[in-house]
Amino acid sequence: MDNRPIGVFDSGLGGLTAVKELEKILPEESIVYFGDTGRVPYGSKSRETVRRYAAQDMAFLIRHDVKAVLAACGTVSSTSADIGKKLPVPYFDVIGPSAKAAAGKTRNKKIGVIGTSATIRSDAYRKALLAIDYKLEVYSQPCPLFVPLVENAFISPQEEVTRLIAQRYLGPMREAGVDTLILGCTHYPIISAIIGGVMGRGVSLIDSGREAALALARRLEEEDLLCSGEGPRQAAFYVTDELENFTGVAELFLGHSVEGRTERIRIENT
């Protein structure tokens, strides 16, 4: 047994989708979440910058004595896995679990991947999918406007602006006939109703945050790293921008208050 918390990080709010899944799957575990809200989005930045930010984010969580680190960020997952694998605790990202789930779900072997510009440019999802099944047809599309739309709460299923942008981005996927779509950024499940509406009922959506959370839970159980359940579950949230901008939307995503458990930090000084 290991009563230390699980560490989760993302460029902003999107990683809260993974936190929400962890709270469902492992309700007795404590969580430390770091959202780099002051430097979001990562997806439009250079690979070198993303890797530098990722190293800082991981080091911050390690200093909080976490027992595992989940990179709930498609951009970090696609550019910085080698950094994560050098950590002194188990490291997880969203790419491998999502690719495995999508390959197992598709019926016609046509899989779509949407993500930030950096994630799609890395080609990480396509490589992971073809390593599972070289006969898969993979169609990739960057969706750079989705993250700022989510971060600014344009998330209602009735939100016309977000729906129109989704139609523009996802049109090629529909024309290609994909039957499975990987939401390759943890912000995207927050607008899954819009994405699903555009893609149609016959298309399965793969939530990268949920798949990563499931993989982490399996690993902790296999290695006997789950908490004893004897103490109260705790959650702490750290951000790099205004607290007010985070807490309101975080409560909407998680379904519970984060008041009194959120702290603003300067990541460069930690």
Catalytic residues: 73, 185
Q: What are the structure tokens assigned to 14, written together? A: 């999107």
Residue 239: alpha-carbon gap to chain centroid: 16
CA distances 53 to 49, 61, 84, 209, Å, are 6, 13, 12, 20
CA–CA dist 188, 231 (Å, integer): 34
CA–CA dist 265, 270 (Å, integer): 8
Q: What are the structure tokens assigned to 163, written together? A: 């729906």
First to last CA, the chain: 29
CA dihedral angle for residue 19, residue 23, residue 29, residue 30, rounded to 10 degrees: 50
